[in-house]
Amino acid sequence: MDILENISEDLNIPIDVLESQIIEGARHVKIIKIPKRSGGVRLVFVPPKIYKIFQYYIIGNYLDVIKRSAAASAFWKGCSILKNAQRHRERIYLVRIDISDFFHSITFNDFVQSLNVEEERGLFDIFMNEDSARIIRKTCFSRDGHLCVGYPISPFAADIAMRHIDEEIFSYLNTRFKGKKYSYSRYADDLVIGFDEKCGAEVVAAITKIVEGREWPRLSVNHSKTRFFNRNVGNAIVTGVRICQDGRLTLPKQFKDDLRFNLSLLEKGRLGKEAFSSLEGALNHCRDIAPEFYTKLQSRYFKSIEGLIKRDRNDP
């Protein structure tokens, strides 16, 4: 049984209806252009409903049960920005490495090659089935067979395709820091390695060689985004979370300043409605990462925050 038959049976949708919607869906993929801070634009793909049905079905019925990398810290159930930062709170030195054009660099074939034929036979057979592969390529990948930013399945498929690279990185770190403590996590394309001796440049060179040395997926490191941190001077930031000298986790100073400023504008009635959702998201993030600071903000801007949360959801 192929993927089309499985979905038809489980969701009680006739196969001919699914096939016609898939054909029609190709015309309804939306592409949004978002300006990058560094210049240029980021293309975000918005899939039609039928594509989402296939993607969420594959995630829920196949990808969720696959053994993921021990380094994977994003998107999966139980993962969070806070937990990702907690992995590194005891390390003195940190390096952050970014992978260029991450999702678009990973192809359908990269994903299939990453599967363990013995342990993941069911998923492997589905993706190797000619009819299933054609449908999955069409509904879950771009026309040229790459993952798309904005597709629900992309983060999960990318994490699975990265398992072998993560294993190589762990192997290197185990050898390099034999008998010593280190930390490694990967939040999508954001790799963070922590250790307790000054060897950042050496680690970056070794990790770069691993990332760029494989035949699949073909990846490259964005060296302009490589960062070196020292917890003892208080500049360590992991996925937007600051690690203090004593290992406490909080928000970066700039984030706190921006939050205070926007709440002040809100209190004075000078914050545009288009910024309301962004501010509410920032407050939720603050409550999760720095609850004590959030309590202080609530005390100072209680009426403004309450009005923001209870505002008419139909407002733009």
DSSP per-residue codes, the chain: --HHHHHHHHHT--HHHHHHHHHHHGGG-EEEEEE-TTSSEEEEEE--HHHHHHHHHHHHHTGGGSPPPTTB-SSSTT--HHHHHHTTTT-SEEEEEEBTTTGGG-BHHHHHHHS-TTTTHHHHHHHHSHHHHHHHHHHHS-TTSB--TT-TTHHHHHHHHTHHHHHHHHHHHHHHTTTS--EEEEETTEEEEEESSS-HHHHHHHHHHHHHH-SSS---B-GGG-EEEEGGGT-EEETTEEE-TTS-EE--HHHHHHHHHHHHHHHTT-S-GGGHHHHHHHHHHHHHH-HHHHHHHHHHSHHHHHHHHTS-TT--
Q: What CA–CA distance (Å, rounded) separates 221 from 235?
A: 22
Q: What CA–CA distance (Å, rounded) separates 208 from 220?
A: 8
Question: Residue 240 corresponds to which tokens in the numbers above?
Answer: 């937007």
Q: Which amino acid is at 11?
A: L
Give me the pLDDT at residue 1, please. 64
Give me the pLDDT at residue 36, please. 83
Give me the pLDDT at residue 291, please. 95
Question: Residue 184 corresponds to which tokens in the numbers above?
Answer: 């490694």
Give me the pLDDT at residue 295, please. 97
Q: What CA–CA distance (Å, rounded) separates 140 from 149?
A: 11
Give me the pLDDT at residue 65, please. 83
Question: Residue 264 corresponds to which tokens in the numbers above?
Answer: 């002040």
Q: How many residues can be counted in the chain?
A: 316
pLDDT lower than 50: segments of the chain = none
Please report the DSSP string for 190-224 in residue order. EEEEEESSS-HHHHHHHHHHHHHH-SSS---B-GG
Phi/psi class of residue 78: alpha, beta or left (left: φ > 0; alpha: ψ in -120 to 50)?
A: left
Under a CB-based contact definition with an 8 Å cutoff, are residues 229 and 93 in contact? yes
Q: What CA–CA distance (Å, rounded) separates 218 from 214?
A: 6
Under a CB-based contact definition with an 8 Å cutoff, are residues 71 and 211 in contact? no
Question: Residue 231 corresponds to which tokens in the numbers above?
Answer: 């917890």
Q: What CA–CA distance (Å, rounded) separates 133 from 131?
A: 5
The vertex-257 CA angle with 252 and 259, nearest 5°, equals 95
Give me the pLDDT at residue 121, please. 76
Q: What CA–CA distance (Å, rounded) separates 212 from 204?
A: 12
Give me the pLDDT at residue 312, please. 57
Q: Which strands, in side-by-side order, build the sheet including 190-195?
A: 183-187, 190-195, 93-98, 227-230
Give me the pLDDT at residue 184, please. 98
Give me the pLDDT at residue 37, please. 77
